[in-house]
Copies of this chain bind each other. A is one copy, B any other.
């Protein structure tokens, strides 16, 4: 199992945008973010669009455009960013293979699949922990952003 790198990009970009917004340098263009992190500019933009659709970032078109935080950093959790980039589906998808076999006697599987329940419980713990941390928390722990070069 592997999480796309877009998650790391999204979180760091949200943090940077929040920090730059605080010192009045917003909106922030993808060019600046890409330079800041050494990332492919076009692809980064594509990924940030997903955050816009999810209502985490707000895009500002035009000459001095860029991206702003759509909500206050305290109200953006890591879970929000992960869901926006990776999707809201569960990583474990129960295909109900227990009913596909020849022994799938009627009524044997009325109860929900125990495997699915166990896996979902673990993922819920994961999501709960992600939802506990906000962008603001990470901003507070990160080193301050230097002025524009």
Bound-complex Cα distance A17 to B137 (A)? 47
> In the assembled complex, how far is the CB of residue A76 from the closest CB belonging to chain B, in whole angstroms?
13
Query: Across the interface, do B2 and A91 meet the contact criterion of CB distance under 8 Å?
Result: yes
**Residue from B87, B100, B109 in contact with A37 in the complex, judged by beta carbons closer than 8 Å:** B100
Q: Does A70 contact B (CB under 8 A)?
A: no
Q: Does A94 contact B (CB under 8 A)?
A: yes
Within A1-44, the residues touching B (CB, 8 Å) are 1-5, 7-9, 11-12, 15, 35-39
Which residues on B sit within 8 Å (CB–CB) of A141?
Answer: 114
**Known contacts A39-B97, A111-B143; 13 further A-B pairs (Cβ under 8 A):** A3-B92, A8-B92, A8-B93, A8-B95, A8-B115, A36-B101, A36-B102, A36-B103, A37-B98, A38-B97, A108-B143, A114-B142, A118-B130
Query: Across the interface, do B100 and A143 meet the contact criterion of CB distance under 8 Å?
Result: no
Determine the residue in chain B with the shortest Cβ distance to A148: B103
> In the assembled complex, how far is the CB of residue A69 from the closest CB belonging to chain B, in whole angstroms?
16
Query: Across the interface, do A115 and B138 meet the contact criterion of CB distance under 8 Å?
Result: yes
Q: Does A128 contact B (CB under 8 A)?
A: yes
Bound-complex Cα distance A127 to B1 (A)? 13
Query: Across the interface, do A114 and B100 meet the contact criterion of CB distance under 8 Å?
Result: no
Bound-complex Cα distance A138 to B2 (A)? 26
